[in-house]
Structure 1
Amino acid sequence: MNIHKMKTIFIKEIKELKRDKISRIMVFLLPVVIVLVFGYGMALDVEKIPFSILDEDNTFTSREISYKFINNDRYYTFKGYVKKQSEGIDLIDRNRIRMLLVIPNGFEKDLKNGRGSSIQIIEDGVFPYRASISKTYSNIIINKFNIEQFETKNINDLFIDLRIRYWFNEEMRQKNVTASGVLLVVLFISPAIFASLLIVKEKELGSIYNIWTSSISKKEFIFAKQAVAVLISFLNYFILFAMIMVLFKTPFKGSFVLFTISSFIYILVSTALGILISTFVKTQVSAVVATSIICIIPSILYSGYLTPISSMTNEAFIVAHLFPNYYYFNIIKMSFLKGFNLNIFIKNIIILIFFYLLFISISITRFRKYQC
Structure 2
Amino acid sequence: MENRVENELDEWLTRERRFQKLFSFSLDNNRAFLREKLRYYRTLQAKYRARAGPKEQLTLRMMRQEQRAIEKQLYPNLWVRLGYKVLLDIIGTSSGKEQKRYTANIRDLQESFRKLGFPDIPLDKQQLADRQKMTVPVSYEVGENKRMAFELQLKQGDKGQFYLEGYTAALHETGAGSGVKKQYFQVDRENNINTRQAYNLLSGRPVVQGNGENRHWMQLDFNDRDPHGNYRVKRFYPGYGFDLEKKLRELPLKELRTPEERRKLIKALHNGEQKEVTLIQGYKQQRIILEANPRFKSLNLYNGKGEKISLAQALNGKISKRTRLKKGKRLGKGRPGKDRFLVKRR
Q: Please classify the TM superposition score into its range, dividing by the shorter chain length.
A: under 0.3
Q: TM (normalized to structure 2)?
A: 0.25
Using CA pairs below 8 Å that are at least 6 residues apart, which structure has the higher relative contact order? 1
Higher gyration radius (CA): 2
Normalized per residue, which structure has more strand?
A: 2
Normalized per residue, which structure has more helix?
A: 1
